[in-house]
Chain A
Amino acid sequence: MNDVIIRTENLIKTYSTGKVKTEALRGVDLEIPRGSFSAIVGPSGHGKSTLMHLIGGLDRPTEGGVFIDGEDISRLSNGRLAALRARKIGFVFQFFNLLQSLTAGENVETAMMFAGEPEKGQSDKARELLALVGLSEKLKSKPSELSGGQQQRVAIARALANDPEILMMDEPTGNLDSASEAEVLDTIFRLHREGKTVVIVTHNDEIAKRAEMVIKIKDGKLADRGSLT
């Protein structure tokens, strides 16, 4: 039996806008093995990102539970949920979402600060992480001085700042040209080979083909869960 790191039970998420209720997820049961590479795919607006937000502890389900290492994170206090994100999960988003007033190095250091890394060691570790994504010479560059691909690699370095077990990525190549996309994918697959559990929301067929498990979401339900290859 595989070691499960993420599990969901009858996961339901309903958004209310006035009297209108929208069911984004309608009972999703899922198990993601430790160290796997999972791609969440499906049409736009069918609940892929909502699922990632819930299993990443960025949002809370209306019903059901999300278990990480057996702990139901949907019942954690806001503070403990933030601590879990700081300790266990690294996020990468489609629009890079770097802090614009900080340099590449400082963006990575900020994540370390919240993970409890002492200030003294932050600078060296940030340099190492930026070297890992091939951007050691961009340590002092502001996001506005970097290309899209470079910004996304800084975002990946930041996601690794807390040495997380799980990397969650929402369309990480959705906003990149082909060359940048290849660079970013190389980095992501390398991180997976090094043992990270990667959960990636994507429309990209290439990523889906290379994933060990494909989770297809349609109309807020699990349409198909590919077996682990």
Chain B
Amino acid sequence: MNIPKLVVKNITRRKGRFVFTLLGITIGIASFVTLLSLGGGLKKEIKKQAAELGANLVVTPKGWCAYEQVSVLTGEQLPEAIPLNVVGKIAAIKGLTAVPYLTERTAYRNNPISVIGILPEEMKRFKNWEMERGKYFATQDEKALVIGSGIAGQFELKPGDELTVRGERLPIRGILKETGGKDDIALYIPLSVAQKLYEVGSNVSFIAIKVDDIAKIDSYIMQIQEAANVAVVSDKQLLKSVLSIVGTVSMTLQLIAAVAILAAAFGIINTMMTAISERKREIGILQAIGAPRGTIFFIFFLESGCYGLLGGVFGVVGGMLFSLFASPYISQNEFTSLIKGGDLAGAMDARIILGSILFSVAVALVSGLYPAWMAARMTPVEAISYE
């Protein structure tokens, strides 16, 4: 016999109570892990999208809120508030390459899809796009579509098929090679065609800019602001601002999960107190056969810790499974539309797994302190004489 074996025998003697107490901490940790991995996945994806945007600076209308900044990265529909001539003014500044985006939405088979109006040649150079199938736009104002590989795969589209955008049937000219980002899940049409279809005059949503020398970025920002009445944000600022919003949302969700864990902690305290009350005579017997108070404390402390360890392990597994299976449904939400199942699995790194299990054990051990102390402070006679 040894103490761990005795502990396992003790906690599994009331199987129903053991399972329900374990479920409490498991659910708490699972929800914590799910939200942590969703937040992690979102941050990871946003960083990826920022890198993929390929811009050092983003020009937006003045007064854009944080949600609109997020949308630059997620490809959501944005207000069209920058006149196209601003693009020309900015492009005229030496050392800058500027490409405009007109981000809109359409629906295909009841699914919302991003439609992006672009200057075909400039964008192809800016993004180094390559074609998987079909051809790229032949002219700057061709009434046709080039689509991302994700959309083509999802709806089994091929060059020559037609899609209706704002009531206009447009042929698919070609399919882009997979980029691994949001470029894969959008439809592209020449800017002039998009402006007519969406009736936005000569306006665009935002402008992405590459600079020739990153050391001069502050000077370029000033030159742009002198040339036009616009807001300019660097990719790093944009990323910081977006991550800060995501971080706040994640933190709020994790706090909600922490409440679930707190409730589970009280479940453990309750179970341990009940166990001590039921096993009062046994505590006396253990003392009579030579168990010191420290050992009695340790036995109950360890029992409590076991709930944390098992709940942590099951919670992490449950959280991972839930993240994988639930993410397709969660990704219907615009804010989390970037997240795909595979990316979430990537967000479950060893740090989250180990950290969650350790957190669970720590919560359970803290929950076990008072019950274990109660058990250890009993005198042998008090415990043996308990009826």
| A79-B294 CB under 8 A given contacts A85-B288, A158-B289 | yes
Residue of A nearest to B11 (CB): A101
> What number of residue pairs across chains A and B have CB atoms under 8 A from each other?
84
B384 CB-CB contact with A under 8 Å: yes
Whether the Cβ atoms of B292 and A82 lie closer than 8 Å is yes
B6 CB-CB contact with A under 8 Å: yes
Interface size on A, residues (CB 8 A): 33
Whether the Cβ atoms of A79 and B293 lie closer than 8 Å is yes
Instruction: Name which of B22-30, B118-126, B131-139, B279-287 contacts chain A.
Output: B279-287
A91 CB-CB contact with B under 8 Å: yes
A212 CB-CB contact with B under 8 Å: no
B13 CB-CB contact with A under 8 Å: yes
Whether the Cβ atoms of B289 and A106 lie closer than 8 Å is no
The distance in angstroms between the C-alpha atoms of A87 and B292, with both chains bound, is 12
Interface positions of A from 81 to 100, Cβ below 8 Å from B: 82-83, 85-87, 91, 93, 95, 97-100
B290 CB-CB contact with A under 8 Å: yes
The distance in angstroms between the C-alpha atoms of A99 and B380, with both chains bound, is 15
The distance in angstroms between the C-alpha atoms of A109 and B286, with both chains bound, is 12
The distance in angstroms between the C-alpha atoms of A59 and B380, with both chains bound, is 7
Binary per-residue interface labels of chain B (362-387) against chain A in the complex, 1 for a CB within 8 Å, 0 otherwise: 00000000000000000111001000
Residue of A nearest to B291 (CB): A114
Whether the Cβ atoms of A162 and B10 lie closer than 8 Å is no
The contact of A101 among B9, B284, B289, B384, by CB within 8 Å, is B9
Shortest CB-to-CB span from A77 to chain B, Å, is 10
B154 CB-CB contact with A under 8 Å: no
| A101-B290 CB under 8 A given contacts A58-B380, A93-B384, A113-B2 | no
A207 CB-CB contact with B under 8 Å: no
The contact of A86 among B1, B3, B13, B289, by CB within 8 Å, is B289
Whether the Cβ atoms of B290 and A83 lie closer than 8 Å is yes
Task: Say whether chain A's binding surface is mostly helix, strand, loop, or mixed.
Answer: helix
The contact of A82 among B1, B290, B384, by CB within 8 Å, is B290
Question: What would 13 more interface pairs be, CB under 8 Å, given A53-B381, A59-B380, A85-B288?
Answer: A58-B381, A59-B379, A79-B292, A82-B290, A82-B293, A91-B289, A93-B384, A95-B281, A97-B281, A101-B12, A112-B1, A114-B286, A161-B289
B202 CB-CB contact with A under 8 Å: no
A211 CB-CB contact with B under 8 Å: no
* Number of chain B interface residues as a range: 20 to 34
The distance in angstroms between the C-alpha atoms of A113 and B299, with both chains bound, is 13
Q: Which residues of chain B have C-beta atoms less than 8 A from A106's C-beta?
A: 1, 9
Binary per-residue interface labels of chain B (1-45) against chain A in the complex, 1 for a CB within 8 Å, 0 otherwise: 111001001101100000000000000000000000000000000
A110 CB-CB contact with B under 8 Å: yes
Please report A residues at the B interface, Cβ cutoff 8 Å: 53, 56, 58-59, 78-79, 82-83, 85-87, 91, 93, 95, 97-102, 106, 109-115, 119, 122, 158, 161-162
Between-chain CB contacts (< 8 Å), 28 pairs: A58-B288, A58-B380, A59-B381, A79-B293, A82-B287, A82-B290, A82-B291, A83-B290, A86-B289, A86-B290, A91-B288, A91-B289, A93-B384, A97-B281, A99-B282, A99-B286, A100-B13, A100-B282, A110-B1, A111-B289, A111-B290, A112-B1, A115-B290, A119-B1, A119-B2, A158-B289, A161-B289, A162-B289
B295 CB-CB contact with A under 8 Å: yes
Whether the Cβ atoms of B290 and A78 lie closer than 8 Å is no
Q: Which residues of chain B have C-beta atoms less than 8 A from A162's C-beta?
A: 289-290
Q: Which residues of chain A have C-beta atoms less than 8 A from B2's C-beta?
A: 113, 119
Q: Which residues of chain A have C-beta atoms less than 8 A from B379's C-beta?
A: 58-59
Q: Which residues of chain B have C-beta atoms less than 8 A from A79's C-beta?
A: 292-294
Q: Which residues of chain A have C-beta atoms less than 8 A from B284's C-beta?
A: 97
Shortest CB-to-CB span from A111 to chain B, Å, is 4
Whether the Cβ atoms of A114 and B290 lie closer than 8 Å is yes
The distance in angstroms between the C-alpha atoms of A36 and B3, with both chains bound, is 35
Whether the Cβ atoms of A101 and B292 lie closer than 8 Å is no
The distance in angstroms between the C-alpha atoms of A6 and B295, with both chains bound, is 27
The distance in angstroms between the C-alpha atoms of A184 and B2, with both chains bound, is 29
Whether the Cβ atoms of B292 and A83 lie closer than 8 Å is yes
The contact of B295 among A87, A97, A114, by CB within 8 Å, is A114
Residue of A nearest to B3 (CB): A113
Shortest CB-to-CB span from A229 to chain B, Å, is 30
Q: Which residues of chain B have C-beta atoms less than 8 A from A113's C-beta?
A: 1-3, 6
Q: Which residues of chain A have C-beta atoms less than 8 A from B288's C-beta?
A: 56, 58, 85, 91, 93, 97
Shortest CB-to-CB span from A89 to chain B, Å, is 8
Which of B10, B13, B289 lies at the interface centre, i.e. has the most chain A CB atoms within 10 A of its CB? B289
Q: Which residues of chain A have C-beta atoms less than 8 A from B285's C-beta?
A: 93, 97-99
Residue of A nearest to B295 (CB): A114
Q: Which residues of chain A have C-beta atoms less than 8 A from B286's C-beta?
A: 99, 110, 114
Whether the Cβ atoms of A78 and B295 lie closer than 8 Å is no
Shortest CB-to-CB span from A157 to chain B, Å, is 12
Residue of B nearest to A84 (CB): B290
Binary per-residue interface labels of chain B (255-287) against chain A in the complex, 1 for a CB within 8 Å, 0 otherwise: 000000000000000000000000001101111
Q: Which residues of chain B have C-beta atoms less than 8 A from A86's C-beta?
A: 289-291
Q: Which residues of chain B have C-beta atoms less than 8 A from A158's C-beta?
A: 289
The distance in angstroms between the C-alpha atoms of A89 and B294, with both chains bound, is 20
| A101-B13 CB under 8 A given contacts A82-B287, A110-B6 | yes
The contact of A85 among B9, B282, B289, by CB within 8 Å, is B289
Shortest CB-to-CB span from A46 to chain B, Å, is 16
